[in-house]
Amino acid sequence: MTDITAAPVRKGLSEDWRAILTGSVASISITFIAVIAIGWFWVGPKFLSFGNVSIMGTFLIVPLIVGAFSGFALLSGVVDLSIGSMVAFSSALFALLISLGWDPATTAVVTLVACLCFGGINAIAIVGFGAEPIAATLGMLVALRGIAWVLLGSQGTIFAFNIDMFNLISLQLFGLPLFFLVAIALTVVAALIVTRTRAGRHVQAVGGDDKAAARAGISVRGVRVAALLLSSFGAGLGGIVYAAQLGSAARATGFGLEFQVYAALMIGGYSILRGGVGNPIGGALGLLAVAGVSNILDLKAISPYYVNIIVGLLLLAAVLLDRIRGGDAYE
Amino acid sequence: MSVTPAIETAAPAVPLKVRLGGWGTGLMLLAVWLLLIVATGLYRQDFLSHQTLLAVTFTMAVVGVLAIGQGLVAISGGFIDLSQPANMILASLVAVRLSEAGMPLAVVIVGAILSGMLWGALNAAIVVFARLNPVIVTLATNFIGLAVLFLVFQLAEVPLNSEIYQFGRASFLGLPAIFWPMLALVLIVGLLMPRTRYGRRAIAVGGNKAAAKARGISLKLTRFAIFTIAGGFVGFASVLFAATAGPFNPGSANTLQLNIIAGVILAGISLAGGRGNFWMLLLSVGFLSTIPTSLVFFGLSSDTQSIFQGFILIIAVAIDGWRARKGTP
CATH number at residue A274: 1.10.3470
Residue type, A98: I
Quick check: A313 and B140 CB within 8 A? yes
Q: Decide if A5 is inside a domain.
A: no
Which residue ranges in chain A fall short of pLDDT 70? 1-24, 326-328
Inform me whether the pLDDT recorded for B17 exceeds 70: no
Q: Decide if A258 is inside a domain.
A: yes
pLDDT at residue A41 in the model: 87
What values do phi and psi take at A267, rounded to 5? -60, -35
pLDDT at residue A16 in the model: 55
Query: H or E element: which one contains B66?
Result: helix B50-73
Inform me whether the pLDDT recorded for B274 exceeds 50: yes
pLDDT at residue B114 in the model: 95
pLDDT at residue A9 in the model: 46
- Report which of A97, A118, A119 is spatially closest to residue A107, judged by C-alpha positions: A97
Chain B residues with beta carbon closer than 8 angstroms to that of A139: 258, 262, 309-314, 316-317
> Which residues partner with A176 through β-bridges?
A173
Quick check: A308 and B309 CB within 8 A? no
User: Rounded to the nearest 10 degrees, what angle do helices A50-75 and A257-267 cross at?
Assistant: 90
pLDDT at residue A327 in the model: 66
Q: Decide if A234 is inside a domain.
A: yes
| Residue with more model confidence, B11 or B174 | B174
Contacts with B49 (C-beta within 8 Å, 6 or more apart), sequence order: none
Q: Decide if A99 is inside a domain.
A: yes
Inform me whether the pLDDT recorded for B3 exceeds 90: no
CB count within 10 Å of CB A215 equals: 9
Cα distance between residue A50 and residue B46, in whole Å: 64
| Least confident residue range of A12-16, A254-258, B115-119, B236-240 | A12-16
Contacts by residues B50-59 (CB-CB < 8 Å, ≥ 24 positions apart): B50/B174, B52/B293, B53/B175, B54/B171, B54/B175, B54/B176, B55/B293, B56/B286, B56/B289, B56/B290, B56/B293, B57/B175, B57/B176, B57/B179, B57/B289, B58/B176, B58/B178, B58/B179, B58/B244, B59/B289, B59/B292, B59/B293
- Report which of B288, B319, B315, B265 is spatially closest to residue B71, judged by C-alpha positions: B265
Chain A nearest CA to B179, separation (Å) = 26
Quick check: A142 and B306 CB within 8 A? yes
DSSP string over A43-89: T-GGGGSHHHHHHHHHHHHHHHHHHHHHHHHHHTT---TTHHHHHHH
Quick check: B80 and A142 CB within 8 A? no
Inform me whether the pLDDT recorded for B289 exceeds 50: yes
Burial (CB < 10 A; 0-12, 13-18, 19+), residue B13, is exposed
Inform me whether the pLDDT recorded for B328 exceeds 60: no
Q: What pLDDT, in 10s, does the model give residues B73-91?
A: 999 888 889 899 999 999 9
**Alpha-helix residue ranges (DSSP H) falling in chain A:** 15-22, 24-42, 50-75, 83-99, 104-123, 133-152, 163-169, 178-196, 198-208, 210-215, 220-246, 257-267, 280-299, 305-324
Owning domain of residue A252 = 23-324
Q: What pLDDT, in 10s, does the model give residues B141-153?
A: 998 999 899 998 8
Average pLDDT over all residues of chain B: 84
Number of H helices, E strands in chain B: 14, 2
Summarize the confidence of residues B248-277 as an average pLDDT. 84
pLDDT at residue A124 in the model: 93
Burial (CB < 10 A; 0-12, 13-18, 19+), residue B184, is exposed
SS3 A250: strand
Q: What pLDDT, in 10s, does the model give residues B197-229?
A: 888 888 888 888 888 888 888 888 888 999 999
Tell whether B83 lies on the interface with A, counting CB pairs under 8 A.
Answer: no
List the domains of chain B with CATH numbers. 16-40+54-322 (1.10.3470)
| Least confident residue range of A279-283, B147-151, B304-308, B321-325 | B321-325
Q: Decide if A320 is inside a domain.
A: yes
Tell me which chain A residue has its CA closest to the CA of residue B315: A125
Summarize the confidence of residues B257-275 as an average pLDDT. 84
Inform me whether the pLDDT recorded for B12 exceeds 50: no
Chain B nearest CA to A42, separation (Å) = 23
Interface of B with A in 117-176 (CB under 8 A): 126-127, 130-137, 139-141, 143-144, 146-148, 150-151
Domain count, chain A: 1
Region class of A254: left (phi > 0), else alpha (psi between -120 and 50), else beta? left
Q: Decide if A33 is inside a domain.
A: yes
Q: Decide if A177 is inside a domain.
A: yes
What are the Cα distances from residue A134, in Å, to A272, B82, B317?
Answer: 9, 11, 10
